[in-house]
């Protein structure tokens, strides 16, 4: 399969703290990759480097054949790498409909700067309607984003990332702050949307059941390094991962769920 995103020798230091150390990853097209690790392990730093928010101290990131290391977040978004946020970043005084319309409008008015293949079919308002439906948000259409319950905010945040037609979608803890019985429903909806638009997904997640069920591949981070990389069943059973990331008890459960 074709490699769509490749990080080579990424390092990032904040003073004496190493947030990323010699990260080498090649992500294949249409794969779903989970990023796991305890707090401060470097998962979000990795996402921030891929989206251009942080510049690596050394190393490079390529999107397809293009080096995106020096680009700003906006330029990287326009190339097709979009992210959602751990704490939803919405336009609180605008309605749910308008929140999505902003994104669809940016794509629609972007002209040649967006790859033609990534333009939406139909009018902006139709596109928003289809996104609302896909993410089951139609009932909230006229509600200002600021008054939505947390689970819905989370969903809208992801829907907004999808509204700008990404080729790679980065989700920062998509299920944090979402109640336990809503988590799988949310992930099912997101994964269905992702498959329909053939988007490659990388997501940071602490819930190993989610990781196990939805990923093809897992990267385990510890102190800025990737200590394990492979299929979820294998990574979650890895001795170092059990020690540093999941803890013994969780890892024992991880093997059981590998059948999903």
Partner 1 sequence: MKRDFTIRTLVGVLIALLLAGPLLPRWAMFLITVSLCYGTVVLGMMLLMRTGVVSFGHGLYYCLGAYASGTLDVLFGVSDIAVMLLAAVAVTGVVSALLGLLLRKYRDIFFAMLSLAFSMILYGLLLKTSALGSSDGFNVAAKTLFGIRIAGTEFERYLIFAVTVLIAFVAAVCMHKYLASHMGRLAGAIRDNELRVEYMGASVRNTIHVNYVMSAVLAGLGGALAAVSVGHIDPEMSYWTTSGEFVFVAILAGTGNVLAPFLGAFIFETIRSFAYEYSPNTWQMALGTTMLLVIMFLPGGLWSLFTRMRRAT
Site membership for partner 1, residue 230 (CB under 8 A) = no
Left if phi > 0, otherwise alpha if psi is -120 to 50, otherwise beta: which for 111? Answer: left
For the CB of residue 107, give the shortest distance to partner 1 in the complex, in Å.
Answer: 7
Q: Which of 66, 74, 243, 256 touches partner 1 by CB under 8 A?
A: 74
Q: How far apart are CA 201 and CA 235, in angstroms?
A: 18
Site membership for partner 1, residue 193 (CB under 8 A) = no
Part of the chain binding partner 1 (CB under 8 A), chosen from 85-93, 185-193, 199-207, 208-216: 85-93
Give whole-number Cα distances, 40 to 18, 45, 53, in Å: 10, 9, 17
Q: Which of 160, 171, 235, 241 touches partner 1 by CB under 8 A?
A: 160
Nearer to partner 1, 109 or 138 (CB): 109
Site membership for partner 1, residue 233 (CB under 8 A) = no
Nearer to partner 1, 108 or 258 (CB): 108
Q: 45, 224 in Cβ contact below 8 A?
A: yes
Q: How far apart are CA 11 and CA 69, in angstroms?
A: 12
Site membership for partner 1, residue 163 (CB under 8 A) = yes
The interface with partner 1 within residues 95-154 (CB under 8 A) comprises: 98, 101-103, 105-110, 114, 124, 142
Nearer to partner 1, 154 or 183 (CB): 154
Site membership for partner 1, residue 164 (CB under 8 A) = yes
Nearer to partner 1, 24 or 75 (CB): 75
Q: Which of 77, 127, 175, 212 touches partner 1 by CB under 8 A?
A: 77
Site residues (vs partner 1, CB under 8 A): 51, 72-74, 77-78, 82-83, 85, 89-94, 98, 101-103, 105-110, 114, 124, 142, 160-161, 163-164
């Amino acid at each position: 399969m074709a490699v769509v995103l490749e990080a080579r020798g990424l390092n990032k230091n904040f003073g004496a703290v190493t947030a990323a150390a010699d990260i080498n990853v090649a992500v294949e097209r249409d794969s779903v990759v989970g990023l796991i690790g305890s707090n401060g392990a470097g998962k979000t730093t990795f996402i921030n480097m891929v989206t251009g928010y942080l510049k690596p101290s050394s190393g490079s990131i390529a999107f397809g054949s293009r080096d995106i290391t020096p680009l700003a977040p906006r330029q990287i978004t326009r190339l097709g790498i979009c992210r959602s946020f751990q704490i939803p970043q919405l336009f609180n005084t605008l309605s749910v409909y308008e929140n999505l319309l902003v994104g669809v409008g940016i794509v629609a008015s972007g002209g040649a700067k967006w790859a033609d293949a990534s333009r939406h079919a139909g009018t902006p308002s139709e596109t928003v309607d289809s996104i609302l439906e896909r993410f089951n948000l139609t009932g909230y259409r006229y509600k200002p984003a600021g008054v939505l319950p947390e689970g819905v905010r989370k969903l809208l945040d992801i829907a907004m990332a999808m509204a700008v037609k990404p080729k790679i979608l980065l989700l920062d803890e998509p299920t944090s702050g979402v109640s336990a019985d809503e988590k799988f429903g949310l992930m099912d909806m997101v994964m269905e949307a992702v498959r329909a638009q053939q988007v490659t997904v990388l997501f940071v997640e602490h819930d190993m059941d989610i990781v196990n069920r939805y990923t093809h591949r897992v990267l385990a981070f510890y102190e800025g390094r990737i200590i394990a990389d492979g299929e979820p069943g294998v990574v979650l059973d890895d001795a170092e991962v059990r020690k540093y990331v999941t803890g013994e008890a969780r890892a024992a459960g991880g093997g059981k769920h590998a059948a999903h």
